[in-house]
Structure 1
């Protein structure tokens, strides 16, 4: 491997970019935008090099870095990635410049500081990357908590109606989860004799089974709030509905995935016995989320809140895939994390474009809009079809793997989950029909922005996401090759194996004279 510090560079580069962008005078917003875009593209380039140099079949952490931190306490700044972390890094690196492009004019309103807005996006990117690359539990916790700050200000200062309420609710929920996580980390510190390095904790073996249960619950609660799983989800519709469209795409597309990523990275390998003990509870919560999120989405009248509730249902599928404990379901869950980020990121961005043109995100304020903006309507259609996991789109592959892997070990759970797929078709088609099709709303023809289809900047924004959705829908194998070994390694830590395939026995063929 190279001696170049890829992982620390992925954290430092956007932080430097955030500082430089924030220092741009308020009167030069265009300069701040291009600086932010430039630094986000540098992160994308570094990540692309890592993806090329990553050894797909290696289960060990790669690109590892270790720096002395607090020697008296035996703490080091440790970084490393496996296949799961790498694909999440790639998702973050792709979505950030897309979000910057989509948010190009979001902070241009009077009295809003444009450089600060884009500096906060870069700071958020750095902290999210920090959670994916940390190989030290305490270091992970620091990034896990610090990333709340830029997101809080992005929602509270630059969001829409009820932005302050949504920002405070998001912060309090996340802070509560962080406090529980800190208590669990302290317990792990004591039980392990002060060991916080992830690999050292794995090599040291699991802690006492009774203590495992309590520590698992502490970690899981924090990550379930972040994901969010039912019933810890109530902050998401408010935050997703109030945040600027691009920020909402990062919130649901990447930040929420830190919860499910952390379950795979920390809960399962560090507390293997407790993971199996509480798997039925986790699957039950995930199943409720699948059905509840879909049903509530059907009843929404606001596009932003509808998309937020669909994400609750999708996170339920991810939860089922993780705790089914099969390679297929686990790989499907990780791939779902990536594909959901692409599909829902595109959906939030398109909804933001529609709301900016109409001045409203209420479904009733549209109707027949596709007649005025065929390209935008087509993009909305692709995003919607990906959200309901239409075959040929990326989410279909991940949803199929989750269902296939779950069915092999728990048929009732897989069958109930199918209901969520059926409901998804209902809310997506209803949403599209009410906004893009049908009789043209006369009020739309009076609005000049509603007669403007996608411009060049908007086409450049949505194209990478559409290409990713279609490419991974047709040929996901390169990504699966990266994810599979890491999922297999995680299941080995838990101590579970895939069920043996059942091969039907052929009936003996009777022979005799005619």
Structure 2
């Protein structure tokens, strides 16, 4: 029942919010709804009774599709990330003004419902339904509340994701017709009767859809522009949670449904992922725009997670799942600071900033914490996951692990350079007028910083959840 409520609460809350006219009421209502979702996500982590963690009901019996939802270790981690992220984001932007605020926050909640549905679905058709449900509010949010170039950027985003969704749907339907009982159930998909050639084709159709979503090089070109032009509140959702849908689907669907094809093609995908890591890191070093640097940093981190998954070593997979959660926490923190600076000073360019720590010491301290977590400094949350990912990649191929390891140095270069250019040195005319961040921003960042240190000093609880993540590992 908890699994069902995790989806129903944001759906109902989002639909109600669409009709709220008063901006303050819409903000307060959406925050309350997100906190209720968080409470149920926490209860799902603690619950052990099967009837609380699973839900099954008839949906489209003629097609063999049911509303089957479940909370296992993997979905618990990502549901918790989704449930934590939304209230933190809403707290961070609470004082911001949004035209038609009721519709904006209603679409945010509907997007949350779609993402939770993806993470909880144990039926392929239901999974695809929620996959699309999460994307529909995204198009409206980006095209209505985005930046000056929002129309063309949203169109590019739409084309990429629409093509990916169609490829995924073709693959899902083909596998469905080759299941023993013509069912969309997860277990039926695991036992589909496909020839080697069919498996290869369906694997690539499914993978391209997920590669666009993550994104993985060379399917990443929609991402920096979309992150830059989307309203920052939604950019946090997109980079913190939504891109994890692709990584999640690799574990839940792609590897177990196409085990032979995934093993056969793993080298190609790992090479693409590692190439993307180095490519994105080098571009990040050259950026003068804070948003674009964070966007390329995210591409590099996602590339490492993808490479670790396709190495198909248990330690690497555990590390990738842990890092999905931690990357979401860290990247949202970076976006919050980028949003504060842009709104205060009207710029995101490093060349126009400097010495901000003198005017905003609290913001500087919290930003440094998030940046150190972003480079996986020991005793921050990202260290354990990154260590396990490199361990898995090393077991697969030491040379590939060594090449990917260069990203550790590159990440330190662009992250520490960003800190120096924005917060240290002498103030400039623009930063002379700056002031420290507001209480709501500090509160949101403090929550994230607490997670950085809690899971940095004691990552065992989240590691324990990954022990129940099951995939078919084939050499």
Task: Report TM bin, short chain.
Answer: over 0.9
CA distance in structure 1 between the aligned counterparts of 2:402 and 2:460, rounded to whole angstroms: 26
Q: Which residue of the other structure, out of 168, 184, 201, is the alignment partner of 1:181?
A: 168
Could you give the per-residue CA deviations for residues 11-34 of structure 1, whole angstroms, max 9, x where no partner exists?
A: 110011111111112xx1101111
Aligned to 1:97: 87
Equivalent runs, 1:76-95 vs 2, <5 Å: 76-95=66-85
Change (3 A) 1:164 1:390: same
Aligned to 1:507: none
Could you give the per-residue CA deviations for residues 169-213 of structure 1, whole angstroms, max 9, x where no partner exists?
A: 1111111100111111121122225221002322x3553222111
Aligned to 1:21: 17
Q: Which residue of the other structure, out of 460, 470, 473, is the alignment partner of 1:477?
A: 460
Q: Which residue of the other structure, out of 171, 188, 196, is the alignment partner of 2:184?
A: 196
- Does 2:24 correspond to 1:30? yes
CA distance in structure 2 between the aligned counterparts of 1:368 and 1:61, rounded to whole angstroms: 56
Equivalent runs, 1:93-132 vs 2, <5 Å: 93-108=83-98, 112-132=99-119
Aligned to 2:349: 362
Greater shift, 140-149 or 422-431, is seen at: 140-149
Aligned length: 474
The unaligned stretches of length 5 or more in structure 1 are: 497-514
CA distance in structure 2 between the aligned counterparts of 1:419 and 1:173, rounded to whole angstroms: 30
Aligned to 1:439: 426
Q: CA RMSD in A?
A: 1.5
Change (3 A) 1:295 1:30: same
Aligned to 2:440: 457
CA distance in structure 1 between the aligned counterparts of 2:244 and 2:136, rounded to whole angstroms: 17
Offset, 1:54 = 4.2
- Does 2:324 correspond to 1:337? yes
Greater shift, 145-154 or 417-426, is seen at: 145-154
CA distance in structure 1 between the aligned counterparts of 2:2 and 2:258, rounded to whole angstroms: 30
Offset, 1:454 = 2.3
CA distance in structure 2 between the aligned counterparts of 1:234 and 1:194, rounded to whole angstroms: 37
- Does 2:256 correspond to 1:269? yes
Is contact 1:230–1:288 with CA below 8 Å preserved after alignment?
Answer: yes
Is contact 2:311–2:393 with CA below 8 Å preserved after alignment?
Answer: yes
Equivalent runs, 1:21-420 vs 2, <5 Å: 21-25=17-21, 28-54=22-48, 63-108=53-98, 112-192=99-179, 194-202=182-190, 204=191, 207-420=194-407
CA distance in structure 1 between the aligned counterparts of 2:347 and 2:193, rounded to whole angstroms: 52
CA distance in structure 2 between the aligned counterparts of 1:174 and 1:315, rounded to whole angstroms: 17
Change (3 A) 1:257 1:206: farther
Could you give the per-residue CA deviations for residues 81-137 of structure 1, whole angstroms, max 9, x where no partner exists?
A: 3211110000000000011112224343xxx21111111110110000010001011
Is contact 2:240–2:327 with CA below 8 Å preserved after alignment?
Answer: yes
Task: Name the larger-Rg structure.
Answer: 1
Aligned to 1:502: none
CA distance in structure 1 between the aligned counterparts of 2:267 and 2:396, rounded to whole angstroms: 12
